[in-house]
Amino acid sequence: TQEPESSQQEEVKEPYVSPIDFNALQEGNPDIYAWLQIPGTEFDFPIVQRVGDDSFYLTHDSDGNESPAGAIFTESAYNTTTMEELLTVAYGHQMHAGTMFGKLQETYSQENALEDYGEIVVYLPDKELHYTVFAAVPYDNRHILYNYDPTDPRRVTAFLNSVYEVREIGAQFSDTVTVSAEDQILVLSTCLAGNSQKRYLVLAVCQTMID
């Protein structure tokens, strides 16, 4: 008897192909490891990490050239380049010209911003991560990953509690997205407009991974 076709041939999963040409990007600068997009906005740029020198991209662009605008970066002291920690923080300057994270606060202070700009996509060479924004808040200038171990669910819970305790004007929270310390959370961090001693954070939880 002839086996049914479905059992004769197992479906072969096609390997993931990133829409971002990481080979070309990394030839120019091997520190580029991811690409950040926020659909419906101008946020569309690489994420970099310089192992052993976490302040490098405060003063250098994603090509590695000196630039006061810097680049969007993560810290090798606390985060890997796999985005697998419970908590990943990506930093960018709040540039008056609007570059980098210059328009982050303006964008997420709008009415219905969490719905209109609720998706963040991070592309990696071997997968893409789709995040849903659940909060956008003014925050103090404590170093998040130093104070809240990104590998410890209890410390991540403490960080989330500190975010939900923010009662400042401009804080926005989703009432439809649930988050736990077991989730993978992405934090976009920049200076608070008008007060460089404080920070403005956009927080999102990973809900889909395509690999």
Cα 14 from Cα 159, distance rounded (Å): 39
> Band of the pLDDT at 100, cuts 50, 70, 90?
confident
Cα 207 from Cα 198, distance rounded (Å): 29
What pLDDT digit, counting tens, does each position of 176-202 carry? 999 998 999 999 999 898 887 899 999
Q: How many CA atoms lie within 13 A of 46 on its CB side?
A: 24
What pLDDT digit, counting tens, does each position of 105-158 carry? 999 999 999 999 999 999 999 999 999 999 999 999 999 999 999 999 999 999
Residue 66 tokens, joined: 């000196």
Mean pLDDT of 8-17: 76
What pLDDT digit, counting tens, does each position of 156-176 carry? 999 999 999 999 888 999 999
Cα 131 from Cα 128, distance rounded (Å): 10
> Band of the pLDDT at 2, cuts 50, 70, 90?
low
Mean pLDDT of 85-114: 86
How far lies 180's CA from each of 95, 101, 109, 176, in Å? 32, 26, 24, 13
H or E element in which residue 22 lies? helix 22-28
Q: Of 128, 191, 134, whose CA–CA distance to 164 is shortest?
A: 134
Return the percent helix, strand and coil in the chain, to nearest 5.
20, 30, 50
What pLDDT digit, counting tens, does each position of 18-70 carry? 999 999 999 999 999 999 999 999 999 999 999 999 999 999 999 999 999 89
3-state secondary structure 78-143: CCCCCCCCCEEEEECCECCCCCECCCHHHHHCCCCHHHHCCEEEEEECCEEEEEEEEEEEEECCCC
Cα 51 from Cα 31, distance rounded (Å): 8
Max mean pLDDT among 7-11, 12-16, 33-37, 193-197 falls in: 33-37
What per-residue confidence (pLDDT) applies to 102?
Answer: 82
Mean pLDDT score of the chain = 92
Please, is 90 exposed, middle or buried when counting C-beta atoms within 10 Å of its C-beta (0-12, 13-18, 19+)? buried
C-alpha torsion 72→75→80→85, nearest 10: -90
